[in-house]
Structure 1
Amino acid sequence: MIVIAVGANLPADGYATPLATCEAAVKRLAEDNLIRVVAESPWYESEPVPPSDQPWYVNGVVLVESALRPKQLLARLHEIEAEFGRVRRTQNEARPLDLDLIDYGGAVRDGEDGGPVLPHPRARQRAFVLLPLADVAPYWRDPVGGISVAELIDSLAAHGSTIRKIGPR
């Protein structure tokens, strides 16, 4: 199982809202001949992390299958982000699309070979990843510590970040 987080807080050119952008991005992933979307979470709306005056984000998760290796898949995700107008300048900036490789079949990688760090190093601390992930993969466990997605969500409850489901798929 490969987990990709989808998010945006600015509309991409040609799309009226961040939600429309995210829905179009999932459709684009599904049309890619190197990626097969097998499950889609509901969408959530969340405050920016870290807190800022940016617009709220729309977030979801897709489960995919792909023969691409992690480094190749991440490069493909960056290409798709660029198609939607994403330009990487500053960490945590507002963006029309963010596609993060969260988990690649339970692989644990430190990124020293130039590939992605897996699992995504901050996913365990982000309600906007964990809640949609629990919707599509309630059995998921963090590959590093073996902690269930439900336990990770419970550990976030005290942090109080605001997130709300905005609709089913």
Structure 2
Amino acid sequence: MHNTTAWIAMGTNMPFAGVSGADLLSRARDALLSEGVSVLRCSGVWQTAAWPAGTNQPDYFNAVIEADVGDRDPRALFDLLRLVEERFGRARRERWGARTLDLDIVAMGGLSGFFDGIELPHPRMAERAFVLAPLAELAPGWPHPGLGRTAAELLAGLPPAGGYRRISDFQPPAG
């Protein structure tokens, strides 16, 4: 692979080092830039209710970035995202727990299937407004390779009680 485009979902609902919300997502984007990931476009920042419902957590701040990940394969990108999460204090203690930073590969190129343990596109993206709302903002016509529907169509097919709203633009890169 060379000059592969990936869609990366970002989320946070806990502060790290005195930074939270949209500012923390901007810093995470800057950390990816410093690791050689070329960020092509960013959605706005979306505030969403914690998922799944009933987890009694603060709201999340979410965004999706379109990135040129160069010649990285899915495993190499996954490992890089985990490294950045750790730098932002991410501890994986419980499924669906609160987190300082969550970075997920939503899709990568036109890949569909399992790649060294990484399933693409993300297996639950089509159920989650916190991924689909920013993805549909950025690329409404993005076609899900397995479902044959666009990001906008998938979002429109979700129940209306999604609890999400766009709150701001993404901050420009630092420096």
TM-score above 0.5, yes or no: yes
Q: Sequence identity, in percent?
A: 36
Hey, what's the Cα distance between the residues in 1 that align with 2:156 and 2:136? 12
1:76 to 54, 61, 80: 80
Query: Where does structure 1 lack aligned partners over 5 or more consecutive residues?
Result: none
1:108 to 97, 102, 112: 112
2:29 is the counterpart of 1:26: yes
Q: Compute the displacement of 1:19 (Å).
A: 2.1
Asked if structure 2 preserves the Cα contact closer than 8 Å seen for 1:40 and 1:62, the reply is yes
Q: Could you state the TM-score of these two structures normalised by the residue count of structure 2?
A: 0.89
Equivalence for 1:59? 62
Equivalence for 2:150? 148
1:125 to 120, 124, 127: 127
Q: Compute the displacement of 1:39 (Å).
A: 0.5
Hey, what's the Cα distance between the residues in 2 that align with 1:8 and 1:138? 23
Q: Compute the displacement of 1:159 (Å).
A: 4.8
Asked if structure 2 preserves the Cα contact closer than 8 Å seen for 1:18 and 1:96, the reply is no
Q: Could you state the TM-score of these two structures normalised by the residue count of structure 1?
A: 0.92
Equivalence for 1:36? 38
How many correspondences in the alignment? 164
Q: Compute the displacement of 1:40 (Å).
A: 0.4
